[in-house]
Amino acid sequence: MFDFSFLTAPASLSFGESNLELILSGWKASVLAFLAAMALALLLGIPVGVFRTVPRPGLLRRAAGCFVELFRNVPMLVQLFLWFFVLPELLPRSAGNWLKRDLPDPEFWTLAAALGFFMSARVAEIVRAGLQSLPRGQREASLAIGFREVHVYVLILLPQVLRIVFPPLTTEFANCFKATAIGLTIGYIELTQRTREISEQTFRTFEIFLVATLVYMLSIFTITMLLQAAERALRLPGLAPRTAGH
């Protein structure tokens, strides 16, 4: 029925690498894009989520709102094309040319930026929801005993929020890993692209996609396990959300 012997055979487009090695290099590219995008998403998403909840409406809150609506409401694929094809044309000529010609690995950095900004809007919403789920009394009490606004967030609210948002964040991490596959539309050679290449060269379509499916499932399973372990390690006694089945 299935014949997997092609995996160890040398790939026809490469210089001596086997098809399996190509799949692994694609996996590595997916992992790198995932890590870069997620780092950017957390770096941007957490502050934006915080600005969404500042008590007085103002420029900061409105700007954060616009940021979320902009990056959450435009399809990811469209955003990727805007970053890759449109942005360099809008910038001054020298900057655009630098992006197009001198930036090393432009496909990687474009994908990381596009995916990072898109995911950051989602992270921001999760952080906002987490902040709004805390009792209002905490903020009021902290302010009453003399904390400044920034300290209320950094010392009181965020340490709790970053613990309770772990389950929804885990889903976003998994989504982000799967979304790295859109990189193939701008020529980033990641796991799905490698799979398609091998499928086109060997015509072992069902086998190679089965392999890719397993690689995706194992990767996301690993991400989930790591995040669950982190969640358990960081859990505060008495504050743990009670979930059935644990």
What values do phi and psi take at 23, rounded to 5? -60, -40
Say if CB 17 and CB 7 are below 8 A apart.
no
Provide the 8-state DSSP code for 53.
Answer: T
Closest CA to 179 of 47, 36, 14, 23: 36
> What is the total count of residues that contact another protein (CB under 8 A)?
32
Say if CB 172 and CB 123 are below 8 A apart.
yes
Say if CB 161 and CB 130 are below 8 A apart.
yes
Of 7-15, 20-28, 56-64, 125-133: span binding another protein (CB under 8 A): 7-15
* Positions in 104-123 near another protein (CB under 8 A): 106
By the rule CB under 8 A, 18 interacts with another protein: no
By the rule CB under 8 A, 25 interacts with another protein: no
By the rule CB under 8 A, 210 interacts with another protein: yes
Of the candidate residues 39, 82, 85, 133, the single one contacting another protein (CB under 8 A)? 85
Say if CB 118 and CB 38 are below 8 A apart.
no
Of the candidate residues 5, 15, 144, 145, the single one contacting another protein (CB under 8 A)? 15
**3-state percent helix, strand, coil for the chain, nearest multiple of 5:** 80, 0, 20
> Is 14 or 160 the residue whose CB approaches another protein more closely?
14
Nearest-approach distance from CB 203 to another protein, in angstroms: 4
By the rule CB under 8 A, 201 interacts with another protein: yes
Distance CA 15, CA 242 (A): 54
> Is 180 or 193 the residue whose CB approaches another protein more closely?
193
By the rule CB under 8 A, 1 interacts with another protein: yes
> Is 25 or 199 the residue whose CB approaches another protein more closely?
199
Q: What Cα–Cα distance (Å) separates residue 221 from each residue in 159, 170, 171?
A: 26, 11, 11
What values do phi and psi take at 99, rounded to 5? -60, -40
Of the candidate residues 8, 12, 133, 138, the single one contacting another protein (CB under 8 A)? 12
Q: What six digits make up the tokens of 110?
A: 């474009």
Binding site for another protein (CB under 8 A): 1-2, 12-13, 15, 85, 88-89, 97, 100-101, 106, 184-185, 187, 189, 193, 196-197, 199-201, 203, 205-206, 210, 213-214, 217, 221, 224, 245
